[in-house]
């Protein structure tokens, strides 16, 4: 099957629909929980956009701020939403080590200082030197 004939991905649509149902959130409540832009007061995610996304209708890919809003509204890790959006809208599949430990390291890295990251890299180099 040619790439253009490949079925559309629904990773984010499925994740949002399933999680919203698990939490028993209405579309409007999901919009409310997502929060609003502190400067404009506008909601980051609109209930109508969520509805179209869940139904598999054409939508503009979400922005970083919208994904953060979904993380708040749906009580999900940001990375999970980011992975699903990347897969659905850009065909990006995140690959993680089967142990899950590599993912844990990556998820914690954003909370580390540059000095701590440098120390971690030096430690890793002692166990598995770069090729």
Q: What are the residue ranges spanned by the domains of the chain? A: 3-90, 95-131
Mean pLDDT of the chain: 84
Alpha-carbon distance of 94 to 100, in angstroms, equals 12
The burial class, CB within 10 Å (0-12 / 13-18 / 19+), for 73 is buried
Q: What is the pTM of this model?
A: 0.69
pLDDT-wise least confident of 43-47, 77-81, 101-105, 124-128: 101-105
Write out pLDDT tens, residues 45-101.
999 999 999 999 999 999 888 898 989 999 999 889 998 998 899 888 777 667 666
Alpha-carbon distance of 111 to 102, in angstroms, equals 15
**43 has which bridge partners?**
36
Name which CATH class applies to 3-90.
Answer: mainly alpha
Residue 118 has pLDDT above 90, yes or no: no
Alpha-carbon distance of 79 to 110, in angstroms, equals 11
């Amino acid at each position: 099957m040619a790439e253009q004939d490949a079925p559309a991905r629904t990773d984010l649509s499925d994740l949002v629909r399933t999680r919203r149902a698990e939490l028993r959130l209405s579309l409007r409540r999901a919009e409310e929980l997502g929060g609003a832009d502190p400067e404009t007061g506008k909601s980051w995610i609109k209930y109508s956009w969520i509805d179209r996304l869940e139904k598999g209708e054409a939508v503009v890919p979400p922005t970083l701020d919208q994904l953060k809003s979904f993380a708040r509204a749906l009580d999900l890790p940001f990375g999970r939403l980011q992975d699903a959006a990347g897969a659905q809208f850009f065909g990006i599949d995140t690959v993680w080590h089967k142990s899950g430990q590599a993912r844990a390291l990556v998820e914690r890295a954003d909370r580390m200082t540059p000095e701590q990251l440098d120390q971690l890299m030096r430690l890793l180099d002692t166990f598995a030197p770069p090729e």
